[in-house]
Structure 1
Amino acid sequence: MFATDDGAVCRHHDIAEPRALLSDFDLVEERRIEVATMNGHLSQAVQLLARKR
């Protein structure tokens, strides 16, 4: 967890945490993408598309 100079609080989570939050939903798609961080480094991100049951 870290805060930016302009006050944004950012957190990095293990993929199990958002999956658990969406456990009552049907997972439609999961996509891993490469993104640039605020410091310009490359990192892996995940996009989850879920549908309410």
Structure 2
Amino acid sequence: AISVVAAADPEAGLPLLERLAASDDTDAAWLVRENLAKARLKPFAERLGALRRPG
């Protein structure tokens, strides 16, 4: 899961989540939304807060 990668290696994983969030692809938006709910990403909530979009 992307959240596992982001938590294990934030320098690689967080930019990936950011790129997916910027995509117009509805599947990518869903993937980002689902992964932002993961507890393992809570330490990065401030940085990732801007990625939350209504869905």
TM-score, normalised with respect to structure 2: 0.25
Of Structure 1 and Structure 2, which has the larger fraction of its residues in helix?
2
| Larger relative contact order (Cα-Cα within 8 Å, sequence gap ≥ 6) | 2
Larger radius of gyration: 1
Of Structure 1 and Structure 2, which has the larger fraction of its residues in strand?
1
TM-score, normalised with respect to structure 1: 0.26
